[in-house]
Structure 1
Amino acid sequence: MAFLFGYDLTDIKLLESLLNYRLAKPKHLSAMKYDVNFKKSQEKTIYKYLRKLLDQKLIAKYRMQNGSEGSLYYLTGKGHEFRNYY
């Protein structure tokens, strides 16, 4: 595990992707990291990393409404502040 400023940052690429794209679903992050033909196990790994970042309050999620599936993830103020130091 990688630690920076007291944060566990197993996969910093997710933070960079969220900074560049503002909002993303886990399947989009999986496609960016593993290629378009990613496996279900790779998407589960992305969910694991997102959970860690949520617990650290570096990202937040917005649950989709109106029948849409899933959630959108985005950087919090704390995530933006961390990104400035990184």
Structure 2
Amino acid sequence: MKVKRSIEKYAPGLGAKIRQARKSDKRSVETLCGLAEVSRVYWYDIENENIRDALPEETLRRIEKVLGVDLGVNFEEAIAS
């Protein structure tokens, strides 16, 4: 899956990491989606890496904050490459 910033970075397996973190969280999907400000359908599309365009970094960071995890997407590495 791609994540969008001013540049794009491939983050293979990101959807699986989000799914694993969600399943470890005791809150409902609806609660997590509300806190992350995304729809349930969009959340599942992210988990399944089934979104049309790159995932906006802002959305990724909201998901990380809600789940209390760092999903390891570092744009500084992409700039150095």
Fold similarity call, TM over 0.5: no
Pairwise TM-score range, normalised by the shorter structure: 0.3 to 0.5
Using the size of structure 2 for normalisation, the TM-score is 0.32
Higher relative contact order (CA 8 A, sep 6+): 2
Higher share of residues assigned strand: 1
